[in-house]
Structures are given as C-alpha cells and as structure tokens.
Amino acid sequence: MSRSRYADRRALFDRREFSFGSVWVIKDAEVSIPQADKIGKRWQHDERWVVVISNNIENYHPLCPIVTIAPLSPRTDLKKRYDLELHSSHDNVAVDCLGQLQLTQPVIKKDLTDYKGIISEDKLDELQILLEDYYGLTYED
C-alpha cells in the first residue's frame, strides 16, 4: 500500500472547500478498510469514491490539512445498520452505493482529487441522523 508523501506542511495547504456531504475521488490506497487490509484480502482499485462527513469550519480553512470521510462501496447487497444508501440518479455518485460510516477516517485534503458534487438534501439529513446515531448522540426513551 503506497501512500502519498508531501515535502513539508506548506505543501498540505489547500484552498478548496470541502462541504458536508460532498462526494470526492481519492486513490484507493489512501483509504483504510481494516477488515480486508488486515487479512490481506483486499482488491485495491485505482480510485475510491468517498463522502465528506465532517461538518465544521476547518473543512474550509486552508491551513487545516485534514477532512473526515466515509468510503463508498458499490456492494449495496452488504448494507449494514450505519451505511448510507446513495443513488446515482440524484446523489452525484457514479453507481448506486453505500457510504460506510463504520469506516469513517481522516484523510489529507490534497489527496482528494476529483469533486463530484453534493449528495441530495434528503441524504444530507439522513447522513446527519445516521452520524448522530452511530456516535450515540441520539436519545431513545
């Protein structure tokens, strides 16, 4: 697994904006999928589509090099409780897929190469609710 290297901190500065729910492309090698990586059973692709799940001011600050993402998987038949279903018809993804919230991870903004758009308003709301539930921020009586 080869990861990108940068000369110094200045090389990490990025003036692009990374909105909550934005869809980007990154090299697959930059994304960790522990359950496959640890047993050596992962087929690495050239690219991996991801959705930005951090929602704070540092997403827009050029001196903050990190943003939090959830990788996307086209394996919709393997949906788990904290997966967000996204559809190619209205969520700016190439194929119907799942946003895998259990694989949430930080990445370097500069490693995000191609901006594809924002997921639909309905999916933005659903993403926020799923994140609150995943992190135990919702209360059930």
pLDDT in tens, the chain (141 residues): 557 788 888 889 999 999 999 999 999 999 988 776 666 766 778 999 999 999 999 999 999 999 999 999 999 999 999 999 999 999 999 999 999 999 999 999 999 999 999 999 999 999 999 999 999 997 766
Q: Tell me what pLDDT residue 141 has.
A: 60
| 117: region left, alpha or beta (phi > 0 left; psi from -120 to 50 alpha) | left
Q: Which residues make Cβ contacts (< 8 Å) with residue 10, sequence separation at least 6?
A: none
Residue 47: beta bridge partners? 27
Q: Is 115 exposed, middle or buried (0-12, 13-18, 19+ CB in 10 A)?
A: middle
Q: Which CATH class is domain 10-134?
A: mainly beta
Residue pair 134/68 in contact (Cβ under 8 Å)? The answer is: no
Q: Tell me the whole-structure pTM to 2 decimals.
A: 0.90
Domain boundaries, the chain: 10-134
Rounded to whole angstroms, the Cα distance separating 109 from 137 reads 27
